[in-house]
Structure formats: structure tokens, C-alpha cells
Amino acid sequence: MNRDQELVLAHGLAIARHFVINILIMSQKDETAFLEDLRRGLHGRGLRLTPQREAVWRLFASSPRGYTLPEACRALSERRVGQATVYRVVNVLHSLGYLRFVHDLDGEHRYLAGRPGHVHHLVCRACGQAREVRDCDLTTLQKLLATQTGFIVEGHHLEFFGLCPDCGPLPDLRRAPAASSPRPE
């Protein structure tokens, strides 16, 4: 292994270690606060956080890849949560912003747990892992589209696709990307 490959490998391992550590340090306090937030959100709709609703939310929260509805139904059937219940709970949690969907490689919706608020996702097209992207300033583009088309833009849904550090080659971070390919002389 040459020096460049060692650096790329070390960088990839550092990213993976950081990701794993962040997952592991989610304290009981954080989880309790999230569940309390979920309880308040449901209460605002006149609903309770039942054991079935909590089981559905915990399933989706347990995976950075999320689940399709059929996968969630299979996983939750072992906990004696029926298909109709899964579909109803997913609809409620999605409408409240606690579940979001991304498109998997087959075009199916894959639901991910999160907090309400404006967010986009970066989805690995190899393993399906998704990460939240909260930075989103598309106001200029929205205004331009409204001006050009006459639409009243009310919102947007944006997904980014690529390869995560575990699935794709890491770029050499010491070099700036080339502005353009070399011109033939």
C-alpha cells in the first residue's frame, strides 16, 4: 500500500469512527427528550404515544438506511404489530415530520426517522444509508422559478445521491479538483 492509499484509508477510518461514536453516544437523555417531543407532537393531534407507535418509531430510528413499508411490516410482525397499524402510524409520523422518505434504487419510498423541520437527504446509492442535510438556501432559485413560470412555489423536495465513505473511493483530499480537463495542443 502506498502513502496516498494509506492516507485515504486513514481518512475513511476516521470518518467511520466519528460516525460510529456519534451513534453510540446518543444518551438516554437525548432519546428521552426525542420521545417527549414525539409525545407532544402526537398530543397536538389528539393522539397518544402508544406502545405500537413507539415500536414503529424505534424501528425506523434504529437504521440509518430506514425501511420500506413492506420491510417495516415484516420486522414489526415479530413484535405483534399488524400491517394496518404500521401503515397508519407511518402516515401519522410522516405527516408530523418524524418520518421522511427518500427514494431507494428501486424507486420505492424508504422512510427515515428524524425531527420535524426542513431537511434533505444524501443517499448512498450502493448501501442505501442516508444522512440528513439541513443546510438549504434555495430561496433565490424558488424566486427565479416563480418569476419564470408564474407558479407560487410552496416548497420543494430535494435528494442527493452518491457513494458514502464505506462504499465509494475517497478522493485525495490534498489536491484541489481540476477546473477542467487538459486541452489538447
Higher pLDDT, 13 or 87: 87
28-43 vs 83-96: helix axis angle to the nearest 10?
90
The mean-pLDDT minimum among 12-21, 77-86, 113-122, 168-177 falls in 12-21
User: Residue 138's domain is classified under what CATH number?
Assistant: 3.30.1490.190
Q: Which residues contact 73 (CB under 8 A, 6 or more apart)?
A: 83, 86, 87
Same domain, 49 and 76: yes
Given pLDDT bands bounded at 50, 70 and 90, which one contains residue 185? very low
Per residue in 111-157, pLDDT (tens digit) is 988 877 777 778 888 887 878 777 777 888 888 888 999 999 887 77
Residues in the chain: 185
| Domains in the chain, number | 2
Per residue in 23-46, pLDDT (tens digit) is 433 445 577 888 899 999 999 999
The boundaries of the domain holding residue 44 are 25-117
Residue 177 has pLDDT above 90, yes or no: no
Region 95-102: mean pLDDT is 89
